[in-house]
């Protein structure tokens, strides 16, 4: 192991053991010295599983650690105490890890000297508090609905740093965007072009716009989260003339100020080639339009999709690796065609909040199917984490109150919803589970709460942020009264 890797490993282990603000600062300084990719890769290697801390040899994330009671702690806070105070199910976000991930992207662009915007893709998790944390880290945000836009504005997020996406924006949402004077609208289809032309002309109000293209790049990921190929509900195809027609309609419009193009090839991607190829195709098209019309694109938005580690099967790359390869591809094409390097935007979502989130559940009933499997049931399920049922997503977990106990049983963790497919984790090795134990499911920070539902009239969980030994409730738990507050009594048939 070369010196800088050994140094990175040593400080990373110290940070994992002590989990305090000093350790966090040391790790940030180290990242500046040897690179975020070195620190990231050491932390995500088998050497960083913190196996020496307990019998589970469990991969821990961010500020997670195990205290003298054998309890899982996050941000220096005992999760058992969090469960007692706030109840379960409970989403717990490691705010220090969110900040670290954000800085990994932002600082890499600064290091490369490339003008950029890192926009938090807030569909991963939207709340007033997370928008405020994003603002603290100097991020922009992208929103995909009037609800997300409203929440960001309620958080006091700077409207000029908000980008509005979506393939079917309503007139009301577009008016809301204009009223709020947001930074940019990302156009998705021809209907939206005409709608925006009409609204902007009527209001005599200018708006910066990008338009989304599908570059025909197939990312190696789940079909439901692949978006960059030709057969997609999103964007204008680069290969069949749609993108050229969209450009023609927007070029030199009086009120719609075309700045460039956007693409997004998918999610949970673990290699850089697809991003580089997408960048090449889009920059080539920008150069073509500049040569034919003189239009100079000033923004290239390459979207998000950067993968994270859910299980040992996943091999994520450091933010610096993704960004470096993107920049190389953009610079190479820009130099080849003699065009000015555009400002590069990216939209990480999952990679900012995914492994920063942990869900706590209370174990209830159990069932043994002889020679088949052992079930334990929790007090949540697909109502707070639909991804296993929707995408066959895999997770890791542990008994947060028994982190040092030996692994004795293999369980399938079942939710409490009235669906046979409501299973959060299959074949999970745990200590012997008992009623009242606290189960922690890791890496639930993205598309957990944001995709939560009231199916079976189950109330959505609370959300807590932790940092530096402190904890704060940032989203209240729904109550039974919340579940009926929009209902109205029947009046038909009263005679």
Q: Which residues are catalytic?
A: 418
CA neighbor of 357 nearest in space, from 278, 281, 443, 486: 443
Is 350 annotated in some ligand binding site? Answer: yes
User: Residue 391 annotated as binding?
Assistant: yes
Nearest to 380, CA basis, from 447, 450, 454, 434:
454
Q: Which of the 8 DSSP states describes residue 153?
A: H
Q: Hey, what are 193's tokens?
A: 């072009």
Residue 305 is labelled as binding a ligand:
yes
Query: Residue 387 annotated as binding?
Result: yes
User: 166 to each of 121, 149, 235, 282, how far by Cα in Å?
Assistant: 12, 12, 10, 20
Q: Residue 405: is it exposed, middle or buried by C-beta count within 10 angstroms (0-12/13-18/19+)? A: middle
Which helix (H) or strand (E) segment holds residue 440: the answer is strand 438-442
User: Could you tell me if 120 and 140 are in contact, meaning their C-beta atoms sit under 8 angstroms apart?
Assistant: yes
The phi-psi region of residue 165 (left if phi > 0; otherwise alpha if psi is between -120 and 50; otherwise beta) is: beta
* Rg of the chain in Å (alpha carbons): 24
How far is 136 from 359, CA to CA, in rounded Å?
A: 24
For residue 183, say whether it is annotated as part of any ligand binding site: no
Q: If we measure between CA atoms, which residue out of 187, 32, 188, 48 comes closest to residue 106?
A: 32
Asked if 361 and 91 count as a contact pair (C-beta separation under 8 A), the reply is no
> Is 93 known to sit in a ligand binding site?
no
Annotated binding residue 419 = yes
Tokens of 372: 């088949």
Burial of 442 (0-12, 13-18, 19+ CB in 10 A): buried
Residue 140: beta bridge partners? 119
Q: Specify whether the backbone of 340 is left (phi greater than 0), alpha (psi in -120 to 50) or beta.
A: beta
**Eight-state DSSP code of residue 309:** -
Task: Point out the annotated binding site for pyridoxal 5'-phosphate.
Answer: 305, 347-350, 447
Task: Point out the annotated binding site for substrate.
Answer: 350, 387, 391, 419, 447
Task: Point out the annotated binding site.
Answer: 305, 347-350, 387, 391, 419, 447
């Amino acid at each position: 192991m070369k010196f800088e890797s050994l140094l990175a490993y040593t400080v990373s282990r110290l940070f994992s053991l002590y989990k305090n603000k000093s350790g966090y600062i040391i790790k940030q300084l180290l990242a500046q010295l040897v690179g975020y990719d070195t620190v990231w890769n050491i932390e995500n290697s088998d050497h960083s599983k913190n196996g020496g801390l307990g019998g589970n040899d469990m991969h821990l994330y961010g500020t997670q650690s195990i205290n003298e009671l054998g309890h899982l702690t996050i941000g220096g806070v005992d999760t058992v105490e969090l469960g007692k105070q706030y109840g379960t199910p409970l989403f717990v976000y490691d705010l220090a890890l969110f900040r670290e991930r954000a800085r990994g992207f932002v600082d890499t662009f600064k290091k490369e000297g490339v003008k950029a915007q890192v926009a938090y893709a807030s569909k991963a998790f939207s709340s007033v508090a997370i928008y405020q944390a994003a603002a603290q880290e100097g991020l922009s945000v992208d929103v995909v609905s009037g609800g997300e836009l409203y929440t960001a504005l309620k958080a006091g997020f700077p409207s000029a740093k908000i980008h509005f996406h979506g393939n079917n924006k309503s007139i009301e949402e577009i008016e809301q965007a204009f009223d709020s004077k947001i930074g940019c609208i990302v156009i998705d289809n021809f209907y939206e072009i005409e709608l925006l032309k009409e609204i902007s002309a009527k209001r005599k109000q200018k708006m910066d716009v990008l338009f989304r293209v599908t570059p025909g790049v197939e990312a190696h990921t789940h079909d439901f989260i692949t978006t960059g190929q030709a057969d997609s509900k999103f964007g204008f195809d680069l290969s069949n003339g749609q993108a050229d027609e969209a450009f023609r309609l927007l070029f030199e419009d009086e009120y719609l100020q075309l700045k460039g193009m956007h693409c997004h090839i998918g999610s949970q991607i673990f290699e850089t080639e697809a991003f580089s190829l997408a960048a090449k195709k889009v920059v080539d098209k920008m150069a073509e339009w500049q040569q034919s019309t003189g239009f100079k694109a000033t923004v290239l938005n390459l979207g998000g999709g950067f993968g994270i580690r859910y299980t040992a099967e996943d091999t994520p790359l450091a933010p610096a690796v993704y960004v470096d390869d993107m920049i190389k591809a953009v610079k190479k094409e820009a130099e080849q065609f003699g065009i000015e390097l555009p400002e590069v935007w990216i939209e990480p979502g999952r990679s900012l909040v995914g492994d920063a989130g942990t869900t706590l559940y209370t174990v209830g009933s159990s069932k043994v199917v002889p020679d088949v499997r052992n079930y334990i049931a929790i007090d949540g399920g697909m109502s707070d984490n639909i991804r296993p049922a929707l995408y066959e997503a895999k997770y890791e977990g542990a008994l947060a109150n028994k982190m040092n106990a030996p692994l004795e049983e293999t369980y399938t963790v079942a939710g409490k919803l009235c669906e046979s497919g409501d299973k959060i984790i299959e074949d999970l090795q745990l200590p012997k589970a008992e009623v009242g134990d606290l189960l922690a499911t890791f890496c639930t920070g993205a598309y957990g709460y944001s995709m939560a539902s009231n199916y079976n009239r189950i109330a959505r969980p609370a959300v807590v942020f932790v940092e530096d030994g402190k904890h704060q409730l940032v989203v209240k738990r729904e109550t039974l009264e919340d579940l009926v507050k929009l209902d109205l009594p029947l009046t038909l048939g009263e005679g």
